[in-house]
C-alpha cells in the first residue's frame, strides 16, 4: 500500500521530533514542509535530504501546489487556530500539537468546524503513550487495583531555560506544560474533573514573564481530590517531565517516582517495584499511527478534539481560578 502524504507546518523546535517520526514511518510520508522561517526550512531540508522545492513559507501556497491527505501542526500555540482552520477549510484532517488552541473559545471553534466538515482533529498528547503512563492507566483506570481511589497528589518541578514564546506567556506552565499532566490525570484515573481552585505565583528569581509556579486542587468525579503543584523555575531537585505521582486507594498506594512505579500497602515498609508494560509504539509514533488509522479506517483517536476540550478546560479553568480566587466549575458547558 502506498504511504499517505502529509504537510507539516513548523519544522524547527519540536517540529524536528515530528520530522524524525514521519521519516521513520512505514505508513506516512511528506508532501511538503511549511515554516515562516526560510532559514529553518533550508537547514532542515539539508539535514534530512528533503527536496527544498517542496518547502514553503506560506501554508496557502503549499495547499495550492501540493496534494496531501493530512496536516501536522507544530507551530507555537498562538498560531494553532489559524493553521488548523486553514487546513480544515482545505479539507485536510489535522494532527496538532498541544495546546489545541490558545483559548477555550478558539479550541471549541476548531472542534465544531472539524465535526461539521467530518474531518479528524486530534491533539498530540504524547505523554499518554509511554510505558510509565500506559502502565498507570492499565493498573488504575482499567484493572482498578487500588479499589476506590481517594486521594491523588502530583508534583512537577523543572527549571528549563527555553527562551522564545514560553518566556513571554502569561501562564507558561499552565498553558504550555500542565496540559500534559492534566490530560494524564483524566487518562490514568479514568475520571473527569468537576472543579478547580488554586493560586499561581512567580518566584523572585523567575526568568519567565508570567507566573511559572502553581498550586491547584481539582475535584474529580465522585469527589476525588487531586492536588497539583508545579513550577518551571525549580532551583534543583527536579522531577521527571511526567512529574511524581502518589495515587492512594482503599487497597494501597501507587507511587510514580523518577518514572518508576512502586506499590505500597498498609504496614509493609518495603515498596514493591512494578514492571512497566512493553509497548509496540510510544509517543509521536503512537499518535502518528492513530492518525493513519483515522484517515484510512475512520478510527476515532483517543485524544480527538472533543475529548481534548476536557483537558483544556482544566487549563483555562485553573487560569480563571488563580485570577479570581474562586472555585471554578468544569465540564458544565
Ligand X SMILES: NC(=O)c1ccc[n+]([C@@H]2O[C@H](COP(=O)([O-])OP(=O)(O)OC[C@H]3O[C@@H](n4cnc5c(N)ncnc54)[C@H](O)[C@@H]3O)[C@@H](O)[C@H]2O)c1
Footprint of ligand X on this chain (CB under 6 A)? Answer: 9-15, 34-37, 40, 74-77, 79, 97-98, 124, 126, 164-165, 176
| Sole residue written with cell 522561517 | 37
Query: Which residue, 28 or 184, has its beta carbon nearer to ligand X?
Result: 184
Spatial contact of 167 and 178, defined as CB atoms under 8 Å apart: no
Rounded to the nearest angstrom, the gap between the alpha carbon of residue 262 and the centroid of all alpha carbons in its chain is: 25
Spatial contact of 285 and 17, defined as CB atoms under 8 Å apart: no
CB of 194 to ligand X, least distance (A): 26
Query: Which residue, 130 or 213, has its beta carbon nearer to ligand X?
Result: 130
Query: Which residue, 99 or 249, has its beta carbon nearer to ligand X?
Result: 99
CB of 131 to ligand X, least distance (A): 16
Dihedral sign computed on CA atoms, order 257, 260, 264, 269 = negative
Q: What angle do CA 165, 171, 173 make, to 5 degrees?
A: 85
CB of 160 to ligand X, least distance (A): 10
CB of 7 to ligand X, least distance (A): 11
CA torsion angle 171 241 287 129 (round to 10)? -130
Query: Which residue, 35 or 313, has its beta carbon nearer to ligand X?
Result: 35
From 157, 164, 238, select the one nearest 208 (Cα to Cα).
Answer: 164
One DSSP character per residue, 294-314 reads: HHHH----TTBHHHHHHHHHH
Question: DSSP class of residue 68?
Answer: -
C-alpha cell at 323: 485570577
Query: Which residue, 127 or 220, has its beta carbon nearer to ligand X?
Result: 127
Query: Which residue, 76 or 252, has its beta carbon nearer to ligand X?
Result: 76
CB of 39 to ligand X, least distance (A): 9
Query: Which residue, 114 or 224, has its beta carbon nearer to ligand X?
Result: 114
3-state helix, strand, coil in the chain (%, to 5): 40, 25, 35
Query: Which residue, 10 or 230, has its beta carbon nearer to ligand X?
Result: 10
CB of 329 to ligand X, least distance (A): 27
CB of 269 to ligand X, least distance (A): 37
For 106, half-sphere exposure in the C-beta direction (CA atoms, 13 angstrom radius) is: 15
CB of 177 to ligand X, least distance (A): 8
Collapsing DSSP to helix, strand or coil, 253 comes out as strand
Q: Cβ atoms within 10 A of the Cβ of 308, count?
A: 28
The residue nearest ligand X at its CB is 13
Amino acid at each position: 500500500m502506498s504511504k499517505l502524504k502529509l504537510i507539516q507546518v513548523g519544522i524547527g523546535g519540536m517540529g524536528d521530533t515530528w520530522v524524525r517520526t514521519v521519516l521513520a514511518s512505514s505508513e506516512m510520508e511528506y508532501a511538503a514542509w511549511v515554516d515562516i522561517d526560510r532559514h529553518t526550512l533550508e537547514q532542515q531540508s539539508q539535514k534530512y535530504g528533503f527536496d527544498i522545492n517542496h518547502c514553503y513559507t506560506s501554508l496557502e501556497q503549499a495547499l495550492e501546489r501540493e496534494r496531501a491527505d493530512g496536516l501536522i501542526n507544530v507551530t507555537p500555540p498562538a498560531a494553532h487556530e489559524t493553521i488548523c482552520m486553514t487546513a480544515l477549510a482545505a479539507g485536510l484532517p489535522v494532527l496538532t500539537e498541544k495546546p489545541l488552541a490558545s483559548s477555550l473559545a478558539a479550541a471549541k471553534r476548531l472542534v465544531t468546524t472539524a465535526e461539521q466538515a467530518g474531518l479528524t482533529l486530534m491533539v498530540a498528547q504524547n505523554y499518554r503513550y509511554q510505558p510509565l503512563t500506559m502502565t498507570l492507566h492499565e493498573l488504575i483506570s482499567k484493572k482498578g487495583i487500588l479499589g476506590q481511589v481517594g486521594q491523588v497528589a502530583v508534583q512537577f518541578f523543572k527549571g528549563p531555560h527555553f527562551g522564545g514564546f514560553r518566556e513571554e506567556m502569561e501562564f507558561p506552565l499552565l498553558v504550555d506544560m500542565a496540559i500534559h499532566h492534566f490530560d494524564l490525570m483524566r487518562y490514568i484515573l479514568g475520571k473527569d474533573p468537576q472543579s478547580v481552585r488554586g493560586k499561581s505565583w512567580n518566584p523572585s528569581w523567575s526568568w519567565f514573564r508570567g507566573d511559572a509556579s502553581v498550586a491547584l486542587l481539582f475535584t474529580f468525579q465522585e469527589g476525588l481530590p487531586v492536588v497539583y503543584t508545579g513550577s518551571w523555575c525549580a532551583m534543583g531537585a527536579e522531577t521527571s517531565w511526567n512529574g511524581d505521582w502518589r495515587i492512594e486507594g482503599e487497597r494501597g498506594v501507587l507511587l510514580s517516582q523518577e518514572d518508576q512505579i512502586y506499590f505500597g500497602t498498609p504496614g509493609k515498609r518495603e515498596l514493591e517495584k512494578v514492571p512497566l508494560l512493553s509497548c509496540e509504539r510510544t509517543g509521536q509514533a503512537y499518535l502518528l499511527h492513530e492518525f493513519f488509522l483515522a484517515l484510512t479506517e475512520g478510527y476515532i483517536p483517543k485524544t480527538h478534539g472533543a475529548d481534548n476540550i476536557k483537558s483544556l478546560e482544566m487549563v483555562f479553568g485553573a487560569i480563571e481560578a488563580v485570577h479570581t480566587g474562586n472555585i471554578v466549575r468544569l465540564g458544565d458547558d
